[in-house]
Structure 1
């Protein structure tokens, strides 16, 4: 790792931002010892990429977890625009993303490195909104805000079902275990099981 890379703020992106997701992401981020930018939550994302970058850089340590959401908009929505902007900030390193499955109509979907299913298992291929592994042959995780992920320098993409939901499997009262595991897997692949 170079000195320049070491100075960058490490960020994990989650492609969901509604009220339920916000509580789950806050809980999961606490569990991994990271910092959650709660103001990034919203449906759609309420802050610009420039403002989001300022908040990321003002946090005392990383990893920093941010939420981006397009509220089902097809094409470049507010969440994707904010994500695009922070990904092109030289002071920020995107170490991974949690791609959240949804029932968004017209979504093309993306391939993921792996997914965490509703039972907490790391599986090859995508899962659906409720965290069930997709049938064999279905290669794409379909969800809001996910298509932009493949166009950005993000080294690992982990799929999950609907953040904080999955028919109770990721409920905040349980500590959002599926989201927590997805974040931990990204950290593991980044070569750090903890925080700076």
Structure 2
């Protein structure tokens, strides 16, 4: 049985805490070893680790540390999407302030206030007028190879009035959108 996976395009230490808590809130498992800024685990290693997790959905992190171009985070995402040994349910695309990034078109986004929008958000979770989310680890993702892309601001750095708990709720909402759309 192929494990079901949700990819989050962030993995620094602050995001990791938010991701782990949001995963627990939604009944998912986090592959914490996938964290890092940038991600250090290779795609093939990550697939093997995913297959060892006791239950799914499995949340994995992929981060490029703000590098433009194709960094390890994007290489990992590409490998996971193409792997026949796992099922990528969707991607949670994290916005950043990376300059000269083309971004990715999202299906929807969740603002720092928890509102679902058809448009993208910025790093701080504010809704933008465009559907294109700019982030450092999303540039080379082909949205047609993934069923669902949900945009969010930078976990742990959106400055939500409810603090880290609010940020966990936003991420949990994004996770639940992907789970619901996947028809588990």
Tell me which residue corresponds to 1:46. Answer: 40
> Paired residue for 1:55, among 49, 66, 74?
49
Shift of 1:174: 4.4
Q: Is the 8 A contact 2:98 2:134 kept in 1?
A: yes
State the TM-score, normalizing by the size of structure 1.
Answer: 0.89
Tell me which residue corresponds to 2:23. Answer: 29
Equivalent residue pairs, number: 184
Q: Is the 8 A contact 1:27 1:172 kept in 2?
A: no
List, as ranges, runs of 4+ consecutive aligned residues in structure 1 with deviation greater than 3 Å: 168-175
In structure 1, runs of 5+ residues without a counterpart are 1-6
> Paired residue for 1:115, among 92, 109, 112?
109
- Tell me how far apart the structure 2 counterparts of residues 59 and 75 of structure 1 sit (CA, whole Å): 31
Q: Is the 8 A contact 2:38 2:64 kept in 1?
A: yes
The question of 1:157 aligning with 2:157 is answered: no
Shift of 1:105: 1.1
Deviations along 1:135-181, one digit per CA (max 9) or x if unpaired, are x3x23110111123325621000000001221135843447111111
Structure 1 stretch displaced more, 166-175 or 7-16: 166-175
- The residue correspondences of 1:1-196 to structure 2 (distance < 5 A) are 7-134=1-128, 136=129, 138-150=130-142, 153-168=145-160, 171-174=163-166, 176-192=168-184
- Tell me how far apart the structure 2 counterparts of residues 53 and 152 of structure 1 sit (CA, whole Å): 21
In structure 2, runs of 5+ residues without a counterpart are none
State the TM-score, normalizing by the size of structure 2.
Answer: 0.94
Q: Is the 8 A contact 2:112 2:160 kept in 1?
A: no
